[in-house]
Chains A and B, each alone.
Chain A
Amino acid sequence: EAEVAQSPRYKITEKSQAVAFWCDPISGHATLYWYRQILGQGPELLVQFQDESVVDDSQLPKDRFSAERLKGVDSTLKIQPAELGDSAMYLCASTYTPTGAYWEQYFGPGTRLTVT
């Protein structure tokens, strides 16, 4: 069964350092999402791509976060500099281009970030 791949699975970094996360969606999925999930809360959408284009990044803290999906396949999310409040699970999800009312997001296992 095809899966969304993410790496690393765990990352510990010091405050003010740079950190990057990688996601490889299921083959053929044109839509890719990055979420941040703080313990006890639901996933918060950071950025949504359709192929290589950004559909929505209204919740992305652009002063420190950046995301790219240059060839419309895999994607990288970067934080620079990391802050203590960035400690969370970073989830990547993908789907076929949504049409109609119903579609399924497939999530990767996530990257758990701890900022010290």
Chain B
Amino acid sequence: RKEVEQDPGPFNVPEGATVAFNCTYSNSASQSFFWYRQDCRKEPKLLMSVYSSGNEDGRFTAQLNRASQYISLLIRDSKLSDSATYLCVVESSGGSYIPTFGRGTSLIVHP
């Protein structure tokens, strides 16, 4: 089993739709969780950290479920500019700050 797993998609949604991605992780000792966004042929950039209590940033909401070992990202009112790959990142060594990336989920928002 891979340490961090994501559905690669692609998720193909119309503008204005709500879309959710999940990411599962295997190391129960993991402490830090993030979502990064990567545009085609560009470098990844931090979208948001995932707090234990969940957090929201505009149209984006991230949740952590430690019991089931997954994190989620919800995007409301999708924009064309949201089209990208969304990478889940988990700190894999329980406090040693060694990051493990998922393979990414591709989102395509169409008019």
List the B side residues contacting A109 at CB < 8 Å.
42-43
Q: How far apart are B68's CB and chain A's nearest CB, in angstroms?
A: 19
Nearest CB of B to A45, in Å? 6
Given contacts A101-B32, A102-B49, contact A56 B98 (CB under 8 A): yes
Q: Is A91 an interface residue (CB 8 A)?
A: yes
- A102 near B98 with CB under 8 A, answer no
Contact indicator A41/B103 (Cβ below 8 Å)? yes
The reply on A75 being an interface residue by CB < 8 A is no
Number of A residues with CB within 8 Å of any CB on chain B? 23
- Of the four ranges (under 10, 10 to 19, 20 to 34, 35 or more), the interface on chain B belongs to 20 to 34
Q: What are 15 A-B contacts defined by CB distance under 8 Å?
A: A40-B103, A41-B103, A41-B104, A42-B6, A42-B87, A42-B102, A42-B104, A43-B87, A48-B98, A55-B96, A103-B97, A104-B46, A105-B46, A105-B99, A107-B44
Contact with B along A36-75 (1 / 0, CB 8 A): 0000111111001000000110000000000000000000
Contacts from B to A (Cβ < 8 Å): 4, 6, 8, 31-32, 34, 36, 42-46, 49, 51, 87, 93, 96-104
Bound-complex Cα distance A40 to B93 (A):
25
Whether A107 contacts B101 in the complex (CB less than 8 A), given A42-B87, A102-B32, comes out as no
B4 — which chain A residues lie within 8 A by C-beta?
42
Question: Roughly how many angstroms separate A48 CA and B104 CA in the complex, as a whole number?
Answer: 21
A-side contacts of B87, CB under 8 Å: 42-43
Q: Is the C-beta of A8 less than 8 angstroms from some C-beta in chain B?
A: no
Q: Is A87 an interface residue (CB 8 A)?
A: no
The 10 closest A-B pairs by CB, nearest first: A42-B101, A107-B43, A98-B97, A102-B49, A42-B103, A104-B46, A101-B32, A43-B101, A56-B98, A41-B103
Q: B residues within 8 A CB of A35?
A: 101
Contact of A43 among B6, B44, B49 (CB under 8 A): B44
Q: How distant is A70 from chain B, measured CB to nearest CB, in Å?
A: 22
A113 to B43, alpha carbons, bound, how many Å?
A: 15
